[in-house]
Amino acid sequence: MDYGRPGLPRGARPEGGSAVMTSLRTRKFTPNRQTKAAILFLFPSALVLVLFVFWPIVNSLWLSFHHWNLMEADRGFAGFANYQELMRDERFWNSVVNTVYYTLGTVPVCIALSLGLALICNVGLKGTAFFKSVYFLPVITSFAMISIIWGFLMDPDIGLLSYYMKRLGFHMPDMLRSTKWAMPAVIFVAIWKNIGFNMVILLAGLKAIPVSLYEAARLDGAGPFQRFAHITLASLRHTLLFVVIISVISSFQVFDQVYVMTRGGPLHSTETIVYYIYHQGLELLNMGYASSMAWLLFLVIFVITIVQLRIFRFDQTD
């Protein structure tokens, strides 16, 4: 049975359809000038990503299954030996505990303070723009430089904090050389550094909440706490989820301030996972073992992120 158009010979196609098919074939196999220009401009960036991002990632996975030490000639296949060694490495588990301690001490406090500052800045008081700039200034400053400055301020002999504490009659402990106070000092600097970044993100979320919602709730007799709980926090759920995820990921990757302020000490009390990876890979040159730790850290961060997305998942109506 012929389903062609009336008046057309059997097997013939309309001229318009033939032109469309020819155009599609031409676009598929012969890129135009704009496509060629786009590929040409993207090629250098793609080459850099492949050589310095994707290839090192793949190579580190390959190294994690080998006994690869730059000071040894034997670099044979190890299978899961490096990962099995991690399970027995007490220093590695100590770094895991320190990283979790750092994360639990940094993320909740930083987010709570950032939300409080964002609420204050959202009121629109006089001088808010100046204070927003002051809060955000540490974010654009190098973490290494901030760590050096705070290390100087916390020095018990020549530090300004120790000097003013003594003038007020208080004793300033040697925080960076104390197994009790070293990690709290690192956590304090991290909160001071990141609070402005989270504040800006949360402030943007607050600006997106319609004022009419607060007016309607006020007319219905809702109090300040009810408006905050049912409007502010409810509207900021997606923003808070984003802030929590990026804060947890950055906390598990902490390295800069630990390296500058304490070098993992005293007695490995501030040694985190990334710092231990650095110690094994760049100080002991044990690249295979360091790569296995890096991939285990990746899996841990991936699982934690998925768990957070599942816990804080919202309905499509949200």
- Residue 3 has a pLDDT of 47
Q: Which pLDDT value is given to residue 1?
A: 47
Under the banding of pLDDT at 50, 70 and 90, the label for residue 70 is confident
> CA 124, 129, 135, 136 torsion: positive or negative?
positive
Selected residue with higher pLDDT from 121 and 15: 121
77 forms bridges with which residues in the sheet? Answer: 66
Structure confidence at residue 242 as a pLDDT band (50, 70, 90):
very high
**Residue 315 pLDDT grade (very low, low, confident, very high; cuts 50, 70, 90):** low
Confidence of residue 35 (pLDDT cuts 50, 70, 90): confident
Question: For position 22, what pLDDT does the model report?
Answer: 55
Predicted pLDDT at 316:
46
Q: Break the chain into its structural domains and give their ranges.
A: 18-63, 81-311
Q: Is 81-311 in CATH node 1.10.3720.10?
A: yes
Say what the pTM is.
0.83
Alpha-helical (H) ranges within 171-231 are: 182-207, 211-219, 224-227
> 20-24, 146-150, 195-199: which has the minimum mean pLDDT?
20-24
CB atoms within 10 A of CB 69: 16
One DSSP character per residue, 135-162 reads HHGGGGS-HHHHHHHHHHHT-TTT-HHH
**127 alpha-carbon distance from chain centroid:** 31
Q: Which residues lie closer than 8 Å to 71 by C-beta, 6 or more apart? A: 285
Q: What is the dihedral of CA 157, 164, 188, 186, to 10 degrees?
A: 0
Q: Report yes or no: 193 and 146 within 8 Å, Cβ to Cβ.
A: yes
**Lowest mean pLDDT: which of 14-18, 34-38, 182-186?**
14-18
Q: Is the pLDDT of residue 125 over 80?
A: no
For the segment 162-172, the average pLDDT, to the nearest whole number, is 82
Phi, psi dihedrals of residue 32, rounded to the nearest 5°: -80, -175
Q: How far apart are CA 194 and CA 111, in angstroms?
A: 9
> Percent of the chain at pLDDT above 70?
89
Measured in whole angstroms, the distance separating CA 69 from the mean position of its chain's CA atoms is 30
Residue pair 285/75 in contact (Cβ under 8 Å)? The answer is no
Give yes or no for a contact between 277 and 91, defined as CB atoms under 8 angstroms apart.
no
